[in-house]
Structure 1
């Protein structure tokens, strides 16, 4: 550093890529060598310049394919399609996602990123550019059902992060490569039905352990069914050309899942033809005593290192060794201890008081209803704000036409319990802004993952129909979920059919009953049109889940919940699992909601709950029609708790 008052020596600029000869030449080197060094330096300089130019040319070709935005990737995908008129709003001057809202038709957004594509019934065709879809890093679901795509199956295994792929009812054809789904370990739902696929079912499907829904029906698959590792909630391979025994992993499914395959046999279908009888030389004689206990020298050779095996072969029976006896005794002892421990735990639980609805939830700060200025403790508040292990405490809105509010506003609102149904309690919450909402609390959804729940709720939130009570917002937590709807003040259909009559109030006029039936049918038809991938689009249709406005226009509630309800709870509580299809075949079908509609029509016309429903209803679905309007609403004849803050009932969520 120059001393103050002195001038710093100017920096000497060193030419680039020039090698200092002084470090490689000796002091005694002849001056005649200098030209050769200068030639070497010039050659090195030329090589470096040419290399940089070459790299520049390569980069110019590679840059366009790197770092594509979601809109660029989707436009590239659109360019590969034929008859893409339905995607007219896919334009580069239009932003794809605005938060969780999509500006492009058929796009599902999450926090500004493309989460899924739902391009159904659009007449699309052409070649699917999977490479462009692979640029969408957050893509989880793709639905191209009911279009005109043909040819071989595209290479979808490039989309390793997919959770759901729907390709039903197109014109895809040809054999599917065995490794077509290799590496798609997160795939849960795959729909290939209604195409023209041939050859064997790809073996890579057998190893997808997370697969829950697989639809292969109405193709031309041949060969045998693979031994799947997944446990299916929905499987169908009917109307193909499959043959051979049905694997044990599929033996408990409904027979209709295999109908139309003349070559299939085994449980749950008819028994397979017995194998040819063994030759007389290999078969045991008919007069042999205890032939099942005798050892066959050919089939069970003696172990030369085990002396007991020789004795067994000589005497015709096996004598257990001391080690075997000790092992069995130890295992038996552990089993007895385990049974005693389980019995002890069950007895303790029986003597414990039931969990209070006011009980706080671990990891979430408590708010006491009596505190005039409720706020979380500072330590807990910082954890929530920083996200240090606690889940984000905020509502997720699925509609833009409603005034938004915070979860804390909802929890501090004056609340009334509208009813306690089979899935949980419904609350009416009057916000300070004047909005009146209904909050329903679910505890039977703790098996569904965060991403799957978010995806399904956003799909439900996009449904818009005159006869559907729209979902406004939801809240996710592992232990429980909250669904927020508009409040319908005129109450449920069940109240008008049963409670009003019991209280001596006028019953429904016939024209209103017919109007309600038509509205319910329209709403149900819309659900089946918009949610074709669901086996039972409603799943829980009953008079408690039909709300009425002042003009007796019906609104369906608690619809499309089967995919997110725990399977064991759904089987015990939901109307769909009381249908004849499930009682006789152990399977819910698309006819299930039609049966439920028929039962509801009978109830509307007679004013009585059909006796078959009462006989089939077990303890899980015997809620009182006079104290609940499951899913929302309120109105005459319903008992309510005194006003209180919702925070007390939701474990102090803030």
Structure 2
């Protein structure tokens, strides 16, 4: 009887726990699938937070939307076996299982119709390319690299019309790729496989490294197919010239030459007669005479050119112009930009920590290309003699109180280091010359992405890219605002030409912190972004004014229209419509035809209206006439991220992370445009 009572007491004590576990399984439809995966694959119990007494949405690596698993990121956890139980998570948008020890064929993924990012790299998967992948029509990123997958890459992968990333390197894939046609592809790699045949024109723009270590793959950017010769050590390949065609289109690969076609076998009677009559010796003498004649002509032409250019050079040296550079090629207009006054100290380059050093003379000798003119001066791309590329801004129309004031402010700006901020590498100060040296951003600026080459043949800036650029720029500005408590730093010159893109497509903010040196002339520019309280003098620009300017930038992203007044840094060209954006958008909203106000290039994308309206509401709150009613930039960042419920911060692993992106980046909740 005592034992019965004891058992009953235990049952009563454990009843709430059993009820809680049951309620969790009942309330979250994904509970059983997640637990089945843990039981089968987590032999080392790395997922210790996955237990029966907790809500699955609080487990490690699990993110939920409306109580359904939308994001599962389990990387480097020594997981084994198959992930077949996870295929029941039909609301999954991101699945990243890279750097584990999962093996066997990749299971059927056709149930994961919401999947947008799939990362399975660095595992031990085998078998063919997963046949179910082409049915995932929402997929944007696919990474199956560093596995043991084999067979051909099927032409059905072309159904993934939204695919931006396709990484299949370091597998055992064979056959051809000539039928691959993915127009939106931005990150592609099939190196380290056994692929054969020509590279299609649609993929020829990717670097050589994307196709390396495929011995019989040919065509741009690899050597031409007509130069590829098959391995003579293999049977039936003697003298064979590769004319490889992709097995995807059913053509044959290598055609062996017929032995009868070898030129050394044939010796005509005409050749024998020529040798008998001595005409062979005459043809050799004729060839020698032609070669000698060509050499003499070449020497004569070279001599004349040498005399001509040497004479011009001597004249320039005599006139004292030998040290000058062509106007279109120089960054600084003279090798010594300082007046030769007694006691005047020559300026020097001041570098910040961790930056490779060079001298002013290196900039003078650099091959330079003007990038544009802005409110604070002219920017150049400079290629130094060692191949290093930097961006140099030659400050003009600025008012500096003194050298010490300038140096102190540069020291603050030089410490700004953030993935969404262009780093200041060095500066140069002298009375008549002031230079700022930044890291070079190779992918241009937001202005040209939005407004450049409008018309037929233009590649539109898609909605996902716009949203990610907006989030990245907001992060960069928020970092600038919070970097220093005293003095508070504001950007002071936010506009689309000052939002650059780095080599992986992340937005990087530039031209920050210079408004305190702005002259009245510079203050009159970029009024389309200027807050009402700062429109008369940009030197009074505040962080609230930055928020206003960023709001105008968001309206520019949404409408495709240019603000009312822009400077001459290339802006204005390509703008079909130039308006007072905040006032125009307010009138559109009042008339309740909001949808007609969005950029026509965004109409082709489906299911993004809610997101666009969400970003429009953020922009309107930023452009409030009252500074006190504008949100802080840190709050703006959170609001943009909440549009999709993800972190838009740039990845340090380039394309090898869940939130990665290339020349554009895609979040786990990328807008569907099928």
- TM-score, normalized by length of structure 2? 0.34
Larger gyration radius, structure 1 or structure 2: 1
- TM-score, normalized by length of structure 1? 0.35
Structure ranking higher on relative contact order (CA contacts 8 Å, 6+ apart): 1
